[in-house]
Structure 1
Amino acid sequence: NGVLQVSQMTGCEHHNLQCTIVPTIAGLADLDFVHTICTIINFLYRVQVPTFTPLSIRAMEESLQEFHSFKGAILMAGAWRGKSKEISHFEIPKFKLLQSFSCSVQNSGSLIPYTTGVSECLLITHCKDLFTCTNHQRSSFAQQIMLLLDHEESIQRFNLYSLL
């Protein structure tokens, strides 16, 4: 239940939680370790902005570079763990993916359309209200919602064309 609760938090709630976590560990962990955590959190927030400027892209790159220069502190603290044991390296595909964010943003713009956060928000704003229009059969819920969303899109398109 605890993990489920965290995965359903909004960005603002995550930010507030992280603002609590970092000061909490500040007295218990090495300063380089805390600094490393702060730099990766800073990078993660910089990646999520809706629009980018050359200055914001540079700041994002600097946050990531700073993280890489201090990430050894995480290994020294023994805080980099897998499912069953400590990991002694950062050779993880998702971690390597962070290096490409800057180029991706420059080539494609904001990464927000490619995250699940947008679809989760749309699920809440569009599908939960639409559930009352269905026959409440969970087995065919996805099909019913897709049909209702298709109808909604058709109505919007019709309204747009009728204005022309």
Structure 2
Amino acid sequence: MKSSNHAFLLLALLPVPKFIHCKKRIQGLLQDRLIHECLDYVLQPLKTAASIGIMMSDPLGSRCFCFTPLAAYIVDTPESTLLAGVSGKTSSVTMATYKQFGDSFCHEPRTASTTLAQLHSIEAEIDPWSVEEYFEAAMKFRLNGVHRPFWADWPLSDPSVFLTPEPLHHWHKVFWDHDAKWCINAVGAAELDFRFSVLQPHTGLRHFDEGISALKQVTGREHREIQRHIIGIIADAVPANFLISLRALMDFRYLGQSLEIDHNICLRMDVALQEFHSHKKAIISAGACLGKGTKVIDNWRIPKLEFLQSVVPNIQQNGIAQQWSADGTERAHIEVIKNPAEFTNNQNYESQIC
């Protein structure tokens, strides 16, 4: 769906409260519970329609008896953990924890039944409103303490299914946050910038005449532009296995953006991801994984890297990943929230922009 179609409408504004509890983690828990409570209230008509059905008109004007299951919820990784009801450093779609994010296989899905069973076992012993005690018990299951997920009574809803791959953040933003930084560290900022600067300019494509190492506030479009050149740019400046691992990730992303995906493409995506895992040691060996203060990182505790293992299974269940990209919703946030808010007097703005 093109953002220029203006097909998005503002449904609700979620509150951003400040709680007075002395512990920040409990404040965060209360905020998470409030978000789920608000979503439960706002989305109740869809839950009802999913349960008993509703008559709706199709584009041709024909009346159809429809049901509204939760097919997809387009969010970035932090929001997905909130919606799935899990704590930080935990996968929202599988049972993997942060120490397993670099595994080369897909872990068991975190199904709705698993999460709800864990919540029921905790609630059988502890009152959910004994907040601190409940939170401590929930952490043992890697849960965030939300005792009533908004999707709990939504028929056929399952976080491991409706939390779909999101290309803008899970692929393009990750490329900039990790792949591009690995290249800068391995090749050297000055050398990489020089190589970008001497590329032949092409109409319709951005020319990075000052390189990429000093770029700030990089957009999704710039992520895509850099991806077009990066493999050729670093080809003779990094070890072979380093190049193979990055090229494998690029193959995975480009295949995943296909508008038609069949079994053959799914197999090629699996092969590309396995190829990355087979050669990823070269990235650490090259000293390209650096943290704060240029500290060398020797692990793969990257949440979005683990999420890649669930891309092919989700495509097989929900269709192509490109339809779930946040490009449209990010643009809609500007059109239906930010721009209207600029024309308000900053008082009672809800009634002015809704």
Shorter chain as denominator, the TM-score bin is 0.5 to 0.7
1:24 aligns with 2:233: yes
Higher relative contact order (CA 8 A, sep 6+): 2
Which amino acid in the other structure matches residue 61 of structure 1? D
2:285 match: 76
1:136 aligns with 2:323: no
Spell out, residue by residue over 1:104-138, the C-alpha distance to the aligned partner (whole angstroms, 9 max, x if none).
Answer: 111111223443223124456x559x94x777238
RMSD, aligned CA: 3.1
TM-score w.r.t. the length of structure 2 is 0.34
1:156 match: none
1:3 match: 216
Structure holding more helix per residue: 1
Q: Given that residues 112 and 118 in structure 1 are in contact (C-alpha distance below 8 angstroms), is that contact kept between their aligned partners in structure 2?
A: no
SS at match of 2:244: helix
Deviating above 6 A after TM superposition, structure 1's stretches of 4 or more consecutive aligned residues are: none
1:120 match: 330
CA distance in 2, matches of 1:138, 1:98: 44
What is the CA-CA distance between 1:52 and the residue it aligns to? 1.7
For structure 2, which runs of at least 5 residues remain unmatched after alignment?
A: 1-213
1:97 aligns with 2:304: no
Percent sequence identity is 27
What is the CA-CA distance between 1:74 and the residue it aligns to? 0.5
Which amino acid in the other structure matches residue 228 of structure 2? C
Q: Given that residues 134 and 144 in structure 1 are in contact (C-alpha distance below 8 angstroms), is that contact kept between their aligned partners in structure 2?
A: no
Match of 1:87 among 297, 309, 314: 297
CA distance in 2, matches of 1:113, 1:40: 20
CA distance in 2, matches of 1:55, 1:82: 37
Q: Given that residues 252 and 272 in structure 2 are in contact (C-alpha distance below 8 angstroms), is that contact kept between their aligned partners in structure 1?
A: yes
1:34 match: 243
For structure 1, which runs of at least 5 residues remain unmatched after alignment?
A: 148-164
Q: Given that residues 255 and 265 in structure 2 are in contact (C-alpha distance below 8 angstroms), is that contact kept between their aligned partners in structure 1?
A: yes
Spell out, residue by residue over 1:2-49, the C-alpha distance to the aligned partner (whole angstroms, 9 max, x if none).
Answer: 331x2x242xx5343223222222222112111211111111222222
Match of 1:60 among 265, 269, 292: 269
Q: 1:135 to 1:69 in 2, by over 3 A?
A: closer
Q: How many residues align?
A: 140
CA distance in 2, matches of 1:68, 1:75: 12
Match of 2:317 among 103, 107, 110: 107
CA distance in 2, matches of 1:111, 1:42: 15
CA distance in 1, matches of 2:296, 2:283: 11
Match of 1:43 among 242, 252, 258: 252
Q: Given that residues 255 and 269 in structure 2 are in contact (C-alpha distance below 8 angstroms), is that contact kept between their aligned partners in structure 1?
A: yes
Q: 1:29 to 1:138 in 2, by over 3 A?
A: farther
Q: 1:93 to 1:82 in 2, by over 3 A?
A: same
Q: Given that residues 39 and 66 in structure 1 are in contact (C-alpha distance below 8 angstroms), is that contact kept between their aligned partners in structure 2?
A: yes
Which of these two proteins has the greater Rg computed from alpha carbons?
2
Q: Given that residues 341 and 353 in structure 2 are in contact (C-alpha distance below 8 angstroms), is that contact kept between their aligned partners in structure 1?
A: no
SS at match of 1:3: coil
TM-score w.r.t. the length of structure 1 is 0.68
Q: 1:9 to 1:92 in 2, by over 3 A?
A: closer
Q: 1:3 to 1:139 in 2, by over 3 A?
A: farther
